[in-house]
Amino acid sequence: MLLLFEVQEIMNIRPRRNRKNTVIRDMIQETHLSVDHLIYPLFLMDGDNHKREIDSLPGNYRWSLDLLMKEISECVNLGIRSFVLFPVIDESLKDNIGTYSYAEDNFYLKAIYSIKSTFPEIMLMSDVALDPYSSDGHDGIVKNGKILNDETLPILAKMSVAQAQAGIDIIGPSDMMDGRIGYIRKALNENGFTDTNIMSYSAKYASAFYGPFRDALDSVPKIGDKKTYQMNPANKREAMIEAELDIKEGADALMVKPAICYLDVIHQLKMSFHLPITAYNVSGECAMLYAAARNGWLDYNLAMPEMLISIKRAGADGILTYFAKDFAKMMNS
Ligand code: PBG
C-alpha cells in the first residue's frame, strides 16, 4: 500500500479541486436554468369561480377563466412569461370529429383572446389535437377502430386557424398525424397568419406517463391505445425522421415528449438540428416526484430543480413543466 505522501506525489489531476467551494462551483457551472426557459401548462374549464384540483397532479388545477386570470397574473409576478393552455371539455360537447374545437362560441378560443388582451406581453401556446374534443378520446378521427390520418388534417387546420384568429402566439400540434405541420402551416399562411409559430410535438412517444393529464381532461381513449400514431418508446431513429419532416414542413421548434425518460432523444435532436428543441416534462413525471415528496422519500426542493436541469443539460432550450410555478417561487425566495 502507498503511503499518504507517496499518493500526493503521483496524483497531478484532482477533479475535486474544481468543486472545493461554492464560488468555484458556480463559476464553472456548465448548464443554467431560469424561468425564461420554462413554459407552464394550465388547464381551463368553462364556467365561473371554478378551481378544481387534479387528484393525480396535486397543486395543479382546472381553472375557470376568471380565476385563471388571477393565477396568470400571480405567475407573471413570479417571472413566468410562457404558458401552454389546455381545455377541459364537457362530455356533452364532444363528438367523433371534434367539431367544438373550432366552434364560434368555443370557450377555449374566447379565453385565448381574453388572456392575450389582458397580458399581451406573455407567450401563449395552444394544444392542437382532437382528443380533448373527441368522444373517442383519440387525437384523430376514429373509424372502424382505425385512426384516420388524412381526414383528420383539415380539422387540425381549422382548429389552428381558429386559435390564430383568437391571438395565440404558438400553435402546438400534439396529435402525431403524418403531414400535419405542412398542412397547418399552409392553412395559417392562406389565412394571413404567417407570423404564428408552430412548435411541433415532433417526437411524441406512446407513453404511460400521460396518465394524470388524461385524468385532468377526462380524455382516456375509449378504445385501444395511441400506438398507431405516437412513437414506440424503444425507438430513436424514428425521432430523427419525424424531426426532419417537421423541419421541411415548416416547424419553428421541435419538441420531445416525455422528457425525463427520453433525455437521449433530446440530446440527439439538439446535436442534429439547428431549430430550438423543447421538451415536455409530462404529468406522470411530475406526479412521481409529488408523490415521493409527499411520502417524505425525496426532497422536492432539491429533486425538482435537478430534474429540470437534467432536461436542459440534455439539450432542451425550453421545458414545458408543471414545476414552473414552484421553480419560479424558489428563484424568488
Ligand atoms: C394530447 C396530449 C397529451 C398530453 C399533451 N397533449 C396526452 C396524450 O397524448 O394522451 C400529455 C401531457 C402530459 O402528460 O403532461 N394531445
Residue 176 has pLDDT above 80, yes or no: yes
Residue 4 has pLDDT above 90, yes or no: no
Question: What 3-state class would DSSP assign to 149?
Answer: coil
Protein residue with least CA distance to atom 8, ligand 1: 210
Bridge partners for 277 per DSSP: 254
| 204 belongs to the catalytic site | yes
Distance 121 CA to ligand 1 centre (A): 26
Task: Determine how many CB atoms are found less than 10 A away from the CB of residue 103.
Answer: 15
In this predicted model, what pLDDT tens digit does every residue of 77-118 receive, in sequence order?
999 999 999 999 999 999 999 999 999 999 999 999 999 999
Task: Determine how many CB atoms are found less than 10 A away from the CB of residue 317.
Answer: 15
Query: Helical H runs in the chain?
Result: 4-10, 22-27, 65-78, 107-118, 153-166, 180-190, 211-217, 237-249, 263-272, 283-294, 300-314, 324-332
Q: Which atom of ligand 1 is closest in space to residue 210's alpha carbon?
A: 14
Residue type, 202: S
Q: Mutation test of ligand 1: which of 127, 152, 213 has the most ligand atoms closer than 8 Å to its C-beta?
A: 213
Q: Mutation test of ligand 1: which of 43, 89, 101, 174 has the most ligand atoms closer than 8 Å to its C-beta?
A: 174
Distance 87 CA to ligand 1 centre (A): 12
Higher pLDDT pick, 175 / 4: 175
Q: Which atom of ligand 1 is closest in space to residue 175's alpha carbon?
A: 16
Distance 200 CA to ligand 1 centre (A): 13
pLDDT value at residue 11:
87
Distance 6 CA to ligand 1 centre (A): 59
Q: Mutation test of ligand 1: which of 42, 207, 210, 217 has the most ligand atoms closer than 8 Å to its C-beta?
A: 210
In this predicted model, what pLDDT tens digit does every residue of 285-326 receive, in sequence order?
999 999 999 999 999 999 999 999 999 999 999 999 999 999
Residue 1 has pLDDT above 80, yes or no: no
Q: Which atom of ligand 1 is closest in space to residue 130's alpha carbon?
A: 16
Ligand 1: residues with CB < 6 A are: 127, 129, 131, 139, 174-175, 210, 213-214, 282-283
Active-site hit among 257, 270, 312, 325: 257
Residue 187 has pLDDT above 80, yes or no: yes
Q: Residue 39's pLDDT band (boundaries 50, 70, 90)?
A: very high
Q: Residue 133's pLDDT band (boundaries 50, 70, 90)?
A: very high
pTM metric for this prediction: 0.96
Give 277-302 as a DSSP string. Answer: EEEEE-HHHHHHHHHHHHTTSS-HHH
Distance 47 CA to ligand 1 centre (A): 23
Domain-wise residue ranges, the chain: 36-332
pLDDT value at residue 41:
98
Protein residue with least CA distance to atom 6, ligand 1: 174
Q: Does domain 36-332 have CATH number 3.20.20.70?
A: yes
Cell of 307: 430534474
